[in-house]
Amino acid sequence: MVNVKPEQFRRIWSALITPTRGDESVNYEALEEIVERQIQDGAEGFYCCGSSGEGLLLTLEERKKVLEHTLKAADGRVPVISHVGTIRTADVIDLAQHAMSAGALAVSMIPPYYYKFSMDEIMGYYEDVIRAIPNVPAIVYNIPQFTGVEFSKDNAGRLLANENIVGIKHTSTNLYSLERMGQAFPGKALINGFDEQLLGALSMGSCATIGTTVNLFAPLFHKVREAFDQGDMALAYRWQHAINLRVEATVKVGIFNAMKYGWTVRGVDCGFCRAPFRPLDETAKKAVEELLKMPLEAV
């Protein structure tokens, strides 16, 4: 039996970056500092070691330590989800067991990648983790542009019917599919994964968002949610446009590195993403610096 409820996920989650030093080692001190400062900015939870956190570029031990330091810095004030997905089921189980013992609210998993696994094999991957850890609350991570697997009501129904699957992180532009999953499985947390479609996802039944640009711009996400909850769609659109302006600008230069450099500009040196990512050049750095000078206003 899992002991979490869908309402526990109704938050604005930061898809937390992983600070590094010049030699690519993880800077755990900087990690704890940005967790503290992001809580002050309005982050209501953290999602560790996902795409934004370079999870697949970290060793298993580093992923465990990132979670531990995030939990330490959060100190129970906000919950933490640990992304534990990778290609080898045994590694996922290892990471998930650690996450549960460390105090994560839930784990999240991309499907296994690279090989053309059958859907039955993909379902089995999730089910093997649940069998190994019967009390684990798990979130399916739907990110087809990276994994080549698009989850839907039909092909993921076997998972969504499992009580251990408490929700889905939907990093897909297919909001129709999101709505259909929500209607078919009303007890599951639908979590938006694309910052640029937060308002659309809310209108289709999403209860939360896990976002890369939340790292730097959490107040804007609060404004969208607040306006939506008040039924002021015109204002919600204006706040969504403010988010999209920042998404567009950071995607142009490399969004993950842009988030890390943004925090460096804010006084916490977070380095750059691990190779084969390339550091930002001077033009890209200037663009991020200019973006951070902009007031957080509806547009």
Among 141, 188, 260, 261, the active-site one is 141
Q: Based on the residue annotation, tell me whether 169 is a catalytic residue of this protein.
A: yes
Query: Which pair of structure tokens corresponds to residue 135?
Result: 């009390």
Beta-bridge partners for 140: 109, 168
| Helical pair 60-74 and 89-102, crossing angle rounded to 10 deg | 20
Among 28, 64, 125, 169, the active-site one is 169
Helix ranges, 52-142 (H): 60-74, 89-102, 119-132
- For residue 298, give Cα distances in angstroms to 29, 204, 239, 259: 34, 22, 5, 21
CA dihedral angle for residue 19, residue 23, residue 26, residue 30, rounded to 10 degrees: -50
User: From CA 90, how far away is CA 182, in angstroms rounded?
Assistant: 30
Q: Based on the residue annotation, tell me whether 28 is a catalytic residue of this protein.
A: no
User: From CA 189, how far away is CA 286, in angstroms rounded?
Assistant: 38
The catalytic residues are 141, 169
